[in-house]
């Protein structure tokens, strides 16, 4: 129950920040050593940064970046700490590291590595984790690698229709894979076919005659 409530709070935070003003924005150019504290927020729509560190209750939303290259674009390293939140729609990210009670959602783009310094399991009567969500069309996962296909509507430029993410487990923490929740959203065509199949089956089971 606590986990469900936290998800609603996280989604509410994302919605509020998305419609409100961000503390910082990166839309072009290249930044170095970006640091967020307290309730600060960052919107990335282009360009990039060598490293971004988010602490406290800060929030990051990545819509797009330049190509992943030092002094050019992309995000080299992104560290999410404390109760920070990340919503990653598209762009290029070299290494993602998550700590403490931070939570992240990935919906598209290129992510090369994920390192998780978090625990997943029962703490007293509460279930903790997973802290990372991947929203995609399909996926294949092993203990060290996740591959799959993003949803087309989250990649308008078509550059990253598929993903290949290396999972780097850390001693003393839960395996990264156990810290990932996969939300699979089928293609609209598939949804329509399933709905049509349901209608056909419903009619086939309807008794003949009568009212």
Map tokens 């309730």 to a residue: 39
User: Which of 162, 163, 18 has the alpha carbon at shortest distance from 86?
Assistant: 18
For 18, the enclosing helix (H) or strand (E) is: helix 2-19
* pLDDT for the residue numbered 199: 52
Report if residue 14 sits inside a domain: yes
205 confidence band (pLDDT: 50, 70, 90): low
The residue that leads in pLDDT, 111 or 211, is 111
Domain boundaries, position 112: 2-186
Report if residue 69 sits inside a domain: yes
At 92, list the tokens: 């290029």
Report if residue 205 sits inside a domain: no
- Number of compact structural domains in the chain: 1
Burial 3-25 (b: 16+ CB within 10 A, else e): eeebeeebeebbeebeeeebebe
Mean pLDDT over 128-144 rounds to 97
Map tokens 């994302």 to a residue: 14
| 13, 35 contact by CB (below 8 A) | no
At 19, list the tokens: 């419609």
| 118, 98 contact by CB (below 8 A) | yes
* pLDDT for the residue numbered 152: 72
d(CA 52, CA 42): 10
Query: Does residue 127 have a pLDDT over 60?
Result: yes
* pLDDT for the residue numbered 50: 98
At 151, list the tokens: 């949803």
């Amino acid at each position: 129950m606590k986990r469900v409530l936290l998800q609603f709070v996280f989604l509410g935070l994302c919605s509020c920040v998305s419609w409100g003003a961000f503390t910082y924005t990166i839309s072009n150019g290249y930044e170095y050593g970006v640091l967020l504290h307290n309730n600060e927020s960052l919107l990335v729509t282009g360009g990039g940064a060598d490293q971004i560190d988010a602490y406290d209750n800060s929030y990051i939303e990545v819509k797009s970046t330049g190509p992943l290259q030092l002094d050019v674009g992309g995000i080299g390293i992104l560290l999410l700490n404390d109760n920070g939140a990340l919503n990653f729609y598209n762009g290029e990210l070299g290494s993602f590291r998550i700590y403490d009670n931070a939570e992240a959602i990935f919906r598209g783009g290129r992510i090369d590595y994920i390192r998780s310094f978090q625990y997943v399991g029962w703490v007293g009567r509460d279930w903790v984790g997973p802290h990372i969500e991947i929203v995609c069309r399909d996926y294949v996962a092993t203990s060290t690698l996740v591959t799959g296909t993003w949803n087309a509507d989250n990649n308008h430029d078509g550059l990253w229709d598929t993903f290949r993410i290396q999972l780097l487990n850390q001693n003393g923490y839960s395996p990264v894979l156990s810290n990932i929740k996969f939300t699979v959203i089928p293609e609209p065509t598939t949804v329509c076919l399933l709905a049509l199949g349901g209608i056909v089956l419903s009619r086939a089971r309807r008794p003949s005659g009568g009212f």
